[in-house]
Amino acid sequence: MPEQVYKFLKSNTVGIIGVPFSGGQPRQGVEEGPLRLVEFGLIDQLKSMDWAVEFEGHRDYVSLRPAHDPDSGKLKRPRYVSAVTKVVAEQVEAQARRGNMVLTLGGDHSIAIGTVAGIFTTYPEACLIWIDAHADINTPKTTTSGNIHGCPVSFLLGIAGKVPEFEWVPHCLRPDRIVYIGLRDVDEGEKRILRENGIKAFSMSHVDRYGIGQVVEMALDHVNPKRDRPIHLSFDVDALDPSVAPSTGTPVRGGLTFREGHYICEAMSETGLLVGVDIMEVNPALEDEVSVYQTVTIGCSLARCSLGETLL
């Protein structure tokens, strides 16, 4: 393991969970994200940083797809998303319980239902840092798209209301244990939810005003004031500006720069409190070859920075 000491880990092992899944949104290709990240050398890169890597290969989640999967209210493919995220929760929990760092590669962001459930079941006192252009906090009532990758946070908070398919999801997240950085495309219903639940969010406007260094500090002060809680980092690559990471399904202009994105990961690693990291929404089927190269390599470097790579 790199020089960085991770306080809650019992090993120098990172468990990598590749989740080639796209059912939380309509665009094909995002299921290829994890395969490409591994193809681009992520595992060897982490090994050369002195991590022991456990990677079980890309599991075939397609077999979990039910023959019949009717909409649940507005939600699309609810049974499929539920089945996949439930398995992911079990995989993440199994890795976390052994004291390993857990790195999950998406796939679309609905997968975070599983990663956050798995981490918070293991570490109930954890906090969640959500890096994204979007808040992904729509409820089955407020969603206009019906895409579940826009809803994971509401399920984890327990504000989604009764959805039979997702009854297994633990309401493990408290509103004061999540903080957002990078937001710039938040639906009206989501703005209301954030306000009503007093959820802390740093938009791109805050990044402009305070700079990324201050924003990260303020974010940690909010969810982790004594710096004694385990941290799960869920990074949607669409938080980055589309000029930096173009190959993603829901790009929004005005995002984080290359350095701002990496700085967040470096700062999280530096706390020594990280226990889980998600790299989500890399879609190698979108845009041209150069864009794919840019986006996949940035997925790899964000993961490395989160796991202790430094510039000096």
Q: Which residues are catalytic?
A: 109, 132, 134, 136, 149, 236, 238, 281
Which of residues 90, 187, 270, 287 is near ligand ARG by CB under 6 A? 187
Residue 147 interaction partner, one of ligand ARG, Mn ion, none, beta carbon < 5-8 Å per kind: ligand ARG
Residues between 104 and 143 that touch Mn ion (CB under 5 A) = 109, 132-134, 136
Mask for 272-311, x = binds ligand ARG (CB under 6 A)? ---------x------------------------------
Residue 10: φ, ψ to 5°: -105, 5
- Footprint on residues 1-30 left by ligand ARG (CB under 6 A): none
Q: Is 236 annotated as a binding residue?
A: yes
Q: Which is nearer to ligand ARG, 135 or 172 (CB)?
A: 135
Considering the complex, state which of residue 165 and residue 281 has its C-beta at the smaller distance from ligand ARG: 281
Residue 136 sits in the site that holds ligand ARG (CB under 6 A)? yes
Piece of 74-82, 120-128, 132-140, 167-175 that binds ligand ARG (CB under 6 A): 132-140
Q: Which of ligand ARG, Mn ion, none sits in contact with 143, Cβ below 5 to 8 A by type?
A: ligand ARG
